[in-house]
Amino acid sequence: MDRKQIIEDPQTGNKGEAFEAFDDIPANPNLTRTIGEVIASRYGRRDMLKGLLGVSASTALFGASALTAPRQADAAGTAASSRYAFDELAWGNDGTHHVAKGYDADILLRWGDPITADAPDFDVLNQTAQAQLQQFGYNNDYVGFTPLNTEGTRGLLCVNHEYTNEEVMFPALGRQDKADFAGMTRALVDIEMAAHGGSVVEITRGTDGKWAVVRDGSRNRRISPLNTVMTIDGPAAGHARMQTSADPSGAQVIGTLNNCAGGMTSWGTWLMAEENFHGYFWTDRLDADGKPDLSDQPEAAQMKRYGVPGRWYAWGKYHDRFNIDKDPNEANRFGWVVEVDPRNPEAAPVKHTALGRFRHEGAETTTSTDGHLVVYMGDDARFDYQYKYVSKGVVSDDPAANSKLLSDGTLYAARFDPDGSVHWLPLVHGEGPLTAENGFASQADVLIDARLAADALGATPMDRPEDAAPRGDGTAYIMLTNNARRKAGETDAANPRAKSRFGHIIEIKEDGGDHAATRGSWSILVKCGDPGIAAVGAEWNPETSDNGWFASPDNCAFDAEGRLWVATDQGSKWGKTGKSDGLYGVETEGSLRGHSKLFFRCPAGGELCGPCFAPDGETLFLAVQHPGTDGTKALTGFARASTFEDPATRWPDFNPQMPPRPSVVVVTKQGGGRIAG
């Protein structure tokens, strides 16, 4: 289906679903190469003759045997018990959230909540950009916490606001993609822009164990694409391709957008990943089929590879910098990782170009065995790549010096080989194919066109790499959410299912337990979906219950005990499992490896983000974005698209005057204690 057909498809309930369905169309040119060409480019002929490729793809799944084998008794003859000490929640879908028995899940922050002392109260019928700039933004995704006292009872919550849903946000507006955004006035566009970005909010834990917002916290602030000035640094800063009419220096940009997942550094700064930035760029030049006409664009090839201009928001109608006809380089200034110092509200956030430009899902940090900073990052698109960044210098006690680690280092893209090895391919100008003859005149070109550089290096096209969770022992877990576009002839060992609707999780073990290693081994932890349906091809630990299996892993985190937690986002397709998105504890070790338990679930139509544990392990922050919005045509008893006036749920207020509001939820154990024991 083309864009128009997708927008008009009666199954598509809102603009977000149309955007998601359109992005289903792969942009990776390596898919058009034959498998023979790909193999030839990855292996020398001698290697092939030596039989390297004789290893069958299935044997690469050396981790899977633990999943399919009957449950093993331990040495004492007793079955292993779950490391997640809670009674599993029952799966389902309805208009509210649910948490395992014995826990509280309280609402801490909602879209529109005032977060500064002088902010006006939320008035959903009379929103303004000025008010929104002092209120909690929309669609909360990443949540980070950095403590302000040694007890950890005061701290700063750092929250990304990924995107906006105009149908349920503004009264009497309706879907704008169907109307070529005719209803989007300058005032509404500016409110949308003010609702994107991020929030820093001071919170404190009372003697009753409950958390509350400190409205007059001196560091509370909003970051937005409307008015937050940022510095650009690293190898692409100042490059001609980064210069615009508003910024001839190429080193300063207003704002960040579509901030999905992220990360906190060990020195307390917050990394915001810019994901689907392409959707915010506009053009007035459409061809006869209604597609962007890029014939006059000198950078048409990279624009196509990145999906610019997506034309899913009308910002370019009023802000020239978002219109590629007027300022084509502005799109080169988005798609990066932004570092924010939440303790210093005067400090300009920094876009670090050394970490490459792509649809950054997250930016989870760790350190190598000798102290280099390592950042794992996915490019969330069908058939795009997994990356990591290794700093040149090492982490020290000096926060200012540490932030420079994000300015100078090596970016790598991952190649997952069928023999179970992973190779990290450096995106370094002048090395291998990354030369001027191939269109990379400098390191700035390599980083601005990171996708094209990784194409040239032969990185492995993945099933949508979302968040990653690195652990100190050189292990990392990569969430691959789904890819229904992968055809039978396009599977490989690391992406083994055609039409993969439910995704999988890959475990990487870097050589020597060193996150800076350029080689490691990989295995599949779980293949998601319903294990009771053979055609799905799911693989879980056989002890996993009907409540425990899930689809579309997305965000993830380790708790203080080193246990992995996975949050899901099935998008508009949750009807295919019937389950609301939720949070699961997934065993990574021992005979229960690949076992999963449901801990929390969202209101229907919502996506679960976070998760973030406070340092003492007694508080878990979760973010529910777009509640009651995605895929509500599948919701029994509702079965239609949500609108402001007629939403599938009015979570969390359940006030007939209020639409659903994306919100941050705080989970604590009744009576105190660590989450999950």
Q: Using CB under 6 A as the criterion, which residues of the chain lie in contact with ligand FEO when the complex forms?
A: 162, 260, 275, 361, 380, 466, 554
Sequence-distant (≥ 6) Cβ neighbours of residue 365 within 8 angstroms: 263, 264, 265, 266, 271, 373, 374, 375, 470
Residue 463 CB, nearest approach to ligand FEO (Å): 12
- Measured from the CB atom, is 64 or 528 closer to ligand FEO? 528
Residue 261 CB, nearest approach to Ca ion (Å): 5
- Measured from the CB atom, is 467 or 543 closer to ligand FEO? 467
Q: What is the 3-state secondary structure (H, E, C) of 342-353?
A: CCCCCCCCEEEH
The pair phi, psi for residue 445, each rounded to 5°, is: -65, -40
| Number of chain residues interacting with Ca ion (CB under 5 A) | 2
Within the chain, what is the greatest distance between any pair of CA atoms? 72
- Measured from the CB atom, is 140 or 668 closer to ligand FEO? 140
581 binds, among Ca ion, ligand FEO, none (CB under 5 to 8 A by kind): none
Residue 220 CB, nearest approach to ligand FEO (Å): 25
**CA 46, 52, 56, 61: dihedral to nearest 10 degrees?**
-140
C-beta of residue 585 within 8 angstroms of C-beta of residue 626: no
The β-bridge partners of 426 are 412
- Measured from the CB atom, is 510 or 554 closer to ligand FEO? 554
Sequence-distant (≥ 6) Cβ neighbours of residue 236 within 8 angstroms: 242, 332, 353, 357, 443, 444, 447, 448
Residue 212 CB, nearest approach to ligand FEO (Å): 29
- Please list every residue from 257 through 276 that binds Ca ion, using CB under 5 A: 260
- Tell me which residue has its CB nearest to Ca ion: 554
- Measured from the CB atom, is 16 or 470 closer to ligand FEO? 16
C-alpha distances (whole Å) from 31 to each of 28, 213, 335, 373, 391 are: 6, 49, 23, 33, 31
**Amino acid in position 353:** T
Residue 338 CB, nearest approach to ligand FEO (Å): 15
- Measured from the CB atom, is 113 or 554 closer to ligand FEO? 554
* DSSP secondary structure code for residue 79 in this structure: B
Tokens of 336: 């990066």
- Measured from the CB atom, is 20 or 511 closer to ligand FEO? 20
Binding window for Ca ion (CB under 5 A); candidates: 232-240, 385-393, 489-497, 549-557: 549-557
510 binds, among ligand FEO, Ca ion, none (CB under 5 to 8 A by kind): none
How many Å from the N-terminal Cα to the C-terminal Cα in the chain?
Answer: 49
303 binds, among ligand FEO, Ca ion, none (CB under 5 to 8 A by kind): none
Residue 625 CB, nearest approach to ligand FEO (Å): 9
Query: Contact with Ca ion (CB under 5 A): which of 554, 581, 618, 630?
Result: 554
Closest CA to 268 of 145, 446, 122, 429: 145
275 binds, among ligand FEO, Ca ion, none (CB under 5 to 8 A by kind): ligand FEO
Residue 499 CB, nearest approach to Ca ion (Å): 21
Q: Could you count the other beta carbons within 10 Å of the beta carbon of residue 418?
A: 21
Instruction: Give the whole-angstrom CA distance, residue 616 versus residue 564.
Output: 16
327 binds, among Ca ion, ligand FEO, none (CB under 5 to 8 A by kind): none
- Measured from the CB atom, is 294 or 624 closer to ligand FEO? 624
Tokens of 3: 């864009």
Residue 480 CB, nearest approach to Ca ion (Å): 12
Look at phi and psi of residue 77 and say left if phi exceeds 0, alpha if psi is from -120 to 50, else beta: left
Residue 464 CB, nearest approach to ligand FEO (Å): 7
Residue 147 CB, nearest approach to ligand FEO (Å): 27
162 binds, among ligand FEO, Ca ion, none (CB under 5 to 8 A by kind): ligand FEO
- Measured from the CB atom, is 467 or 507 closer to ligand FEO? 467
Residue 584 CB, nearest approach to Ca ion (Å): 15
Residue 258 CB, nearest approach to ligand FEO (Å): 7
CA angle 85, 91, 94 (to 5 degrees): 130
- Measured from the CB atom, is 341 or 466 closer to ligand FEO? 466
Closest CA to 332 of 218, 442, 420, 444: 444
- Measured from the CB atom, is 554 or 630 closer to Ca ion? 554
Task: Return the CA Rg of the chain.
Answer: 23
Instruction: Give the whole-angstrom CA distance, residue 415 versus residue 436.
Output: 23
Element (H, E) at 211: strand 211-213
Binding window for Ca ion (CB under 5 A); candidates: 56-64, 113-121, 175-183, 256-264: 256-264
C-beta of residue 420 within 8 angstroms of C-beta of residue 368: no
Q: Could you count the other beta carbons within 10 Å of the beta carbon of residue 12?
A: 24
Binding window for Ca ion (CB under 5 A); candidates: 142-150, 168-176, 545-553, 554-562: 554-562
- Measured from the CB atom, is 82 or 199 closer to ligand FEO? 199
Binding window for Ca ion (CB under 5 A); candidates: 15-23, 253-261, 451-459, 594-602: 253-261
Q: Does 363 bind Ca ion (CB under 5 A)?
A: no
C-beta of residue 135 within 8 angstroms of C-beta of residue 117: no
Binding residues for Ca ion (CB under 5 A):
260, 554
